[in-house]
Structure 1
Amino acid sequence: MMSETIQKYYQTGNYQVLRQFKSKKNRVQLIEISAGQQVIRLIEKTFTEAVALKKELSMLNLLHEMAFSVPECLGQFDRVLLYEYLGGMTLCEKLEIAEVCEPDLFSGPVNRDSEITALLKKTIDWLNRLHQKTGLTFYDINLRNFIVRDNLIYAIDYEDFSKLKPAVDYGRLLAFILTYKPVFTEWKKALIRELEDYLNNEIKVNMDEVRHEKERELARISERRAKLV
């Protein structure tokens, strides 16, 4: 439930936009509300379609009930949802930093204890629990949709949840990791091999299906990027 302070100052427009986040479908902003000497930071997500907001809110409530690590929704206005600001870094940012700061990480025996390896395995665990508990796939596997805070993985953006095979999520995750710039580096390929080993031995998914979905997503990514040239 939204506090009276947040409701009052949000409705009167006594806030400023600090950052605009990338979003293909909606407007997502980090805003700051001033309440006297108190300053509150929130994520403001404005939906283009009311049905998408309804689906996202329904999924968020379900995930909260199941004790998934997701942000708290602090209020709703028309087509706007206000979320708590998690801070932290996205998995995409963590991946980029790891490749720059730890270029030799996968040049020899794989370091299974590295931060980025552990975080991506935690992401797989989060997805596996989603599949097991709800029968749904996340689908929108963009590493910017996963936030790292206090060494935990928080997922955001739930409007694309679908009833598909778990292999779709895992294949898309591997494809996206490979194609963040710089693409298809030996470092990323070694990381993918480690994650595939984890999926095979710990999650015990059908790896033929995962690799098939990975190749399908790689083809879609290549097609999308070709249109931009």
Structure 2
Amino acid sequence: MKILKKFYSKKNFVCLLEDNQTMAVYKLFSDRENYLKEKNYYQVFHDTNLAVPALLASKNEDCSILLEYLNDETALDCLEFYEKYHDLDKASELLISIFQWLESFHQLDVIKSKNLSFYDMNLRNFILLNTVVYGVDFESIQKGDLLSDTAKLIGMYLNYDEKYSSFKLETVARFKHFIEKEGCFETDTLEKTISTEIVAINDRRNLKTNMI
């Protein structure tokens, strides 16, 4: 197998492999528990309608998995492109699509019955393929709910460079308008949770907190 490129990951080794003109994503875990957890979730999600790449193979000996390759276009890549060309419609539509993916995630029995959340709202964990959002990276799933995931999504998006840009603030305003129109959360509850998540993000990064 030939390594075509390496993907950014703080905790694991992740790369794109090619074998006989077939490409797949290889992920080597640094922690065995995280490997077992993520492998299990990929197997569970395979039998649902949740948009995730297929688990092609796993290897317990070295804690690695092989995943279907979709493409390299992460939600972060797309949002940076939309901001560069000031496409507010596309940016807000993508945040809404990620939110809708999260809604589907939270409706699954395995998630709902245990009050779990996706938790890691790194925008590299969402891939856009032909207008469909796919989720990846399930090792961080833990206690939480759709509200906490939504607040983290907003907080994380605002903290990518350029932080709190006028474009990002307008995109978030449009996104929140959609959420409020759908009646998903009480406005005050959402705003309070967003503020809490922004404080948590900035505490982890030792940054001064910005409020919206």
Report the TM-score range of the alignment, normalised by the length of the smaller protein.
0.7 to 0.9
Indicate the residue corresponding to 2:139 in structure 1. 159
**Residues 180-202 of structure 1: CA deviation (Å, up to 9, x unaligned):** 11110111111111111112221
TM-score (norm. length: structure 1): 0.81
Alpha-carbon separation, structure 1, partners of 2:77 and 2:130: 15
2:49 to 43, 54, 67: 67
Indicate the residue corresponding to 1:131 in structure 2. 106
Query: Which runs of structure 2 are paired with 1:44-123 in the superposition (5 Å)?
Result: 44-77=26-59, 78=61, 79-102=63-86, 105=88, 114-123=89-98
Q: Radius of gyration: which is bigger?
A: 1
Alpha-carbon separation, structure 2, partners of 1:56 and 1:203: 32
CA contact (8 A) 1:178 1:184 kept: yes
CA contact (8 A) 1:32 1:39 kept: yes
Alpha-carbon separation, structure 2, partners of 1:203 and 1:180: 28
Q: Return 5+ residue gaps in structure 2 as ranges.
A: 208-212
TM-superposed CA distance for 1:140, in Å, is: 0.5
1:209 to 189, 206, 212: 189
Alpha-carbon separation, structure 1, partners of 2:5 and 2:193: 34
Give the direction of change, closer, same or farther, for the CA distance of 1:52–1:155 in structure 2 (3 Å limit): same
Give the direction of change, closer, same or farther, for the CA distance of 1:226–1:220 in structure 2 (3 Å limit): same
Alpha-carbon separation, structure 2, partners of 1:163 and 1:169: 10
TM-superposed CA distance for 1:166, in Å, is: 1.7
Indicate the residue corresponding to 1:148 in structure 2. 128
The alignment's C-alpha RMSD in Å is 1.7
Indicate the residue corresponding to 1:3 in structure 2. none
TM-superposed CA distance for 1:119, in Å, is: 1.8
Aligned identity (percent) is 28
CA contact (8 A) 1:140 1:160 kept: yes
CA contact (8 A) 2:117 2:143 kept: yes
Give the direction of change, closer, same or farther, for the CA distance of 1:84–1:26 in structure 2 (3 Å limit): same
- SS of equivalent residue, structure 1 residue 89: coil
Indicate the residue corresponding to 1:226 in structure 2. 206
TM-superposed CA distance for 1:53, in Å, is: 1.2
TM-score (norm. length: structure 2): 0.87
| Correspondence 1:198 to 2:178 | yes
More displaced, 94-103 or 215-224?
Answer: 215-224
CA contact (8 A) 1:44 1:82 kept: yes
The amino acid that maps onto 1:59 is: Y
TM-superposed CA distance for 1:32, in Å, is: 1.8
**Residues 37-64 of structure 1: CA deviation (Å, up to 9, x unaligned):** x312111111112211111111112222
**Residues 132-190 of structure 1: CA deviation (Å, up to 9, x unaligned):** 22313110111100000011000000111123132110000001111111110111111
Q: How many residues of Structure 1 are paired with residues of Structure 2 in the alignment?
A: 200
CA contact (8 A) 2:38 2:139 kept: yes
CA contact (8 A) 1:138 1:169 kept: yes
Alpha-carbon separation, structure 2, partners of 1:172 and 1:88: 23
